[in-house]
A = this chain, B = another copy of it.
Amino acid sequence: MSDETGARIRKKALALFRKRGFERTTMRDIARAAKVSLGAAYYYFPSKDALVLSYYEDMQLAHDKAARAAFRGANGLEERVRGVLHSKLDVVADDRHLLGAIFRTAVDPESALSAFASSTGGVRQQSVAIFDEAVGDEPMPEDIRALLPKAMWLLHVGMLLYFAHDQSPGQIRTRHLVDDAARVIVPLIAMASLPMLAPMREELVRLVARAFEPQVPSPSTPPAPGESS
């Protein structure tokens, strides 16, 4: 019954996390709720953080579906941006306190769950891909097109951080922020596309692109020449 047991532990864990928060839920609580021993819980999930990562994956999958649904009714870039961001907030709305736990590990350079670690790379790439879909075939200079999804992913992390700290009722402030950001992005791209600004744009794009370069040769990518600094 391995599959069933693991699923039950996971389900109970997420339920407890939602109800009482990450910190105040102990592994013993989880085991008790799932009617297994503490050791069994650890047999299925090597750490408490692993249970959070499990939530992280769930969340990503749910966002994929929600965002694509939003895209279907959307007209133009602004609406797609609004859709991809609001749908993310919808997905995590009931789990704001869990975000804190995720951020804590995501930000730690030593953690395997670090937002920049390769173990979460798959989930992150999937997340960037949905922003790529949001940009779609909106006309813009090639260099901007290449970077925009990553930049949006980064901003969306900031949005989640803001959301996690947002004390306003229904987190209305974050919702407003998203609307404002969506409204601004189209003219911003238009402005950046002005030929007159091409030189500066190139410099900015180069700067951001360099910031995104991988730190270590990832196992799937052979060591690229000329990438030490």
Q: So how many copies of this chain end up in the complex?
A: 2
- Are B200 and A187 touching (Cβ within 8 A)? yes
Q: Does A191 lie at the interface of the complex (its beta carbon under 8 Å from any beta carbon of B)? A: yes
Name the segment of A73-81, A118-126, A209-217 touching the other chain.
A209-217
Which of B23, B114, B203 makes the CB contact (< 8 A) with A110? Answer: B23
Given contacts A187-B200, A207-B180, A210-B176, contact A109 B116 (CB under 8 A): no
When distances are taken between beta carbons in the complex, the residues of chain B under 8 Å from A220 are none
When distances are taken between beta carbons in the complex, the residues of chain B under 8 Å from A96 are 109
A interface bracket (residues with beta carbon within 8 Å of B):
35 or more
Given contacts A200-B191, A228-B168, contact A107 B114 (CB under 8 A): no
Shortest CB–CB separation between residue A156 and chain B, in angstroms? 14
Which of B108, B116, B191 makes the CB contact (< 8 A) with A103? Answer: B108
Q: Does A184 lie at the interface of the complex (its beta carbon under 8 Å from any beta carbon of B)? A: yes
Closest to A21 in B: B110
Name the segment of A31-39, A56-64, A134-142, A157-165 touching the other chain.
A157-165
Interface residues of A (CB under 8 A from B): 21, 23, 96-97, 99-101, 103-105, 107-110, 114, 116, 161-162, 164-168, 172-173, 176-177, 180-181, 183-184, 187-188, 191, 197, 200, 203-204, 206-207, 210-211, 213, 215-216, 228-229
11 new A-B contacts, CB < 8 A, other than A103-B108, A177-B211, are: A21-B110, A104-B108, A165-B215, A166-B215, A167-B215, A168-B229, A173-B229, A180-B207, A181-B207, A188-B200, A191-B200
